[in-house]
Structure 1
């Protein structure tokens, strides 16, 4: 069996920005968690206020939710919460929030 080529930053840079952007968009359409990560990264370019607004909107949505989480959706929900906390931690470190 042929070996899979290793992904490296240099190899990805060789693809070019347009091709990478299209790959990101394609994956964001299929994967809601990834889409939220991309939105957080884009908000990060606008500053901490934009990230705070994004997180506040997500937390408000969770607070309003009244449905029960079915067992087959529990992993996706946990991944969603993990992604939200990762966004907070990573952005806090990157921006020096206190």
Structure 2
């Protein structure tokens, strides 16, 4: 069944912690034999989860976000949001926040 097409900029976005996602995926199992292995790969902001069965060798892959062309949408939207947010403050304010708040945390 095809999923409804929602423009990427109108979709809700979430931050997901890996431990929480792993807990959810622990409920997944192979429909034929009940076994499943979970592998993950991170490509920038994209999380790719592969569920595979060691017994019957079935495999399914899930991506945490859609693609824009050949690039994960989040890998375009994240720098765009930073760039557009910076357009609302001066570079002096940006560097002041970076010096007083961001760098001490790092």
Answer whether TM exceeds 0.5 for this pair.
Answer: no
Structure with the larger strand share: 2
Structure with the larger helix share: 1
* TM-score (normalised: structure 1): 0.31
Structure with higher Rg: it is 2
| More relative contact order, 1 or 2 (CA 8 Å, 6+ apart) | 1
